[in-house]
Structure 1
Amino acid sequence: MSTAPAADFGTGVLSRAAALVHTLLTVEALFLAASAPGLAGLLLLGLGPGPDAANLPLAALCLLPVGPAASAAVYALHHRGRDLTDLHPARVYLRGWRLNAHSALKLWAPLLAWLTVIAFTLTHFAATGLPGWWAVLLGAIGVVLLLWGAHALVLTSLFTFRARDTARLAAYFLLRHGRATLAAASLLVLAGASTALLTEALPALFAAPLLLSLLHSGRTVIAETQEDFTA
């Protein structure tokens, strides 16, 4: 007869792995549900005869729900339970959505607007009459904006700052924590490559693991924010 205390159940290595898988699956399902209106719109836009640059503003509108959904996912993954007997990922996800949806949208909407302007300009670049190096500059600005957005997503999901303060901190951490920025860049490359080579739906279907990796790579950003920028 085993003499192990009952409290030990659910805290072993296999149990923690099962808890992580359960949390990832639940968060992924809730992320897709929260993003569903926009993802459905993107699907309808993609049913046309081919990609049309004129649809970029509509695509940006469709992507608006993704920001709050991703923020809630980061919150839920950060506050996930490790004990298999005490898991409530759906409850934590919904709490994160209620807490962060508005603040996430205040940063996500301008980011989408700027990225849309850049993408629209690049797709009509021949008509602008600008020299070729402007295209390189615009592409570089777009990449920096995406990396800034990755830091801003983590910060706005886990901390309560004004939107302007979150924006400044995200910009500050771009160079302050180069490894975290490079890790975010690698995730963006992975998402972009999977979209280009396989299917546009793949990043959405693997959003939870990607966001968990972003959260893991941003540990130094989170730690410094807690130590230096919170009371």
Structure 2
Amino acid sequence: MSGPAPDRNGPLTRAASAIYWFVVVEVLWVLLTAPGFVAALFLARDASNLPLYALAAVPVGPATAAALFAWRVFLRERDPSPAHQFGRGLRLGWADALRSWVPALVALVVLGTNVAYAGAAGLAAPVVLLQVVLGVVVLLWAVRMLALASSFSFRWRDAARLGIYTLLNRPLVTLGMVSLLVLVAGLAVVTFDAVPVLLASVLTYFLARNENPVLDDVQRRFVAPSPPTSSSTTP
């Protein structure tokens, strides 16, 4: 005599599904970014290597956008296939992610080099502080652009304007992003560099939750609704 059928909506099933999602997204994110991180391990920690560190960080943009796409699906539908959703997000958003991420990396290299060699260049302390602030703003803008690229395909200049607008218009969400970036930096400093990488799926999950209100707002206010299909229109 067979026992009762397992409850597919029970707490244990949901917990197992969530753990599976975190593991799969983590593995895929690490696999996509591993070449850059491995290359970075062989670089000396010197400001002269900032361009090479930026080059190693290029895959982080598309990988993060793909993870954000997958987590957005998870938060809405609990799809049983995280690998499929991650791959779909990568396929749809990698170009838009690179178009925003690469210019941001270039800007961060320029600003970081200026700060690192501020003494040799004779830059005043207020100028150095301004460049640090600009670096933080560029990083916040870049992360917001990755979130937009994970769900939409805007022209670059439209996405850039939306990135700036939403940073200013949704200050609490922006503060949440700042908190996550501080957490990542703190983990890297207090522990070691690999810890944020090993927690990438958890960090991108919380980033996706943080960015959801902005993406929903952009969907409602700036994305035209899909036209009705012929089958749904009245003849």
State the TM-score, normalized to the length of structure 1.
Answer: 0.91
Aligned match for 1:96, one of 89, 107, 112 = 89
Q: What is the match of residue 27 of structure 2? A: 29
Normalised to the residue count of structure 2, the TM-score between the two structures is 0.89
Quick check: 1:132 aligned with 2:98?
no
Q: In 2, are the aligned partners of 1:152 and 1:166 still within 8 Å (CA)?
A: yes
What residue in structure 2 maps to residue 76 of structure 1? Answer: 70
Q: Which moved more, 1:54-63 or 1:13-22?
A: 13-22
Equivalent in the alignment of 2:157: 164
Q: 3-state DSSP class of the match of 2:167?
A: helix
Cα distance in structure 2, aligned partners of 1:219 and 1:96: 16
Task: Select 2:15's aligned residue among 2, 14, 17.
Answer: 17
Take 2:172 and 2:87, find their aligned partners in 1: how far apart are those partners?
Answer: 31
Contact 2:72/2:212 (8 A) holds in 1: no
Residue in structure 2 matched with residue 150 of structure 1 by the alignment: 143
| Cα distance between partner residues in 2 of 1:172 and 1:89 | 31
Q: Which residue of the other structure, out of 208, 215, 219, is the alignment partner of 1:222? A: 215
What CA RMSD, in Å, does the superposition of the two structures yield over aligned residues? 2.0
Distance 2:185 2:34 in 1: 20
CA distance in 2 between partners of 1:228 and 1:83 (Å)? 23
Structure 1 segments (4+ residues) deviating >6 Å: 1-4, 81-84
* Structure 1 residues without counterparts, runs of 5 or longer: none
Residue 141 (1) aligns with residue 139 (2) = no
Q: Specify every segment of 5 or more residues in structure 2 that has no aligned partner in the other structure, as ranges.
A: 225-235
User: What amino acid is the match of 2:23?
Assistant: L
Once the two structures are superposed, what CA deviation does each residue of 1:176-212 show, in whole Å capped at 9, x if it has no partner? 1011000000000000011111111111111111111
Q: Distance in 1 between matches of 2:75 and 2:219?
A: 21
1:67 has 2:26 as partner: no
1:20/1:82 contact within 8 Å kept: no
Identify if the C-alpha distance between structure 1 residues 81 and 220 changes in structure 2 by more than 3 Å, giving closer, same or farther: closer
Q: Which residue does the alignment assign to 1:212?
A: 205
The answer for the alignment partner of 1:41 in structure 2 is 39
Kindly indicate whether residue 183 of structure 2 is the aligned counterpart of residue 190 of structure 1: yes
Deviation at 1:100, TM superposition (A): 0.8
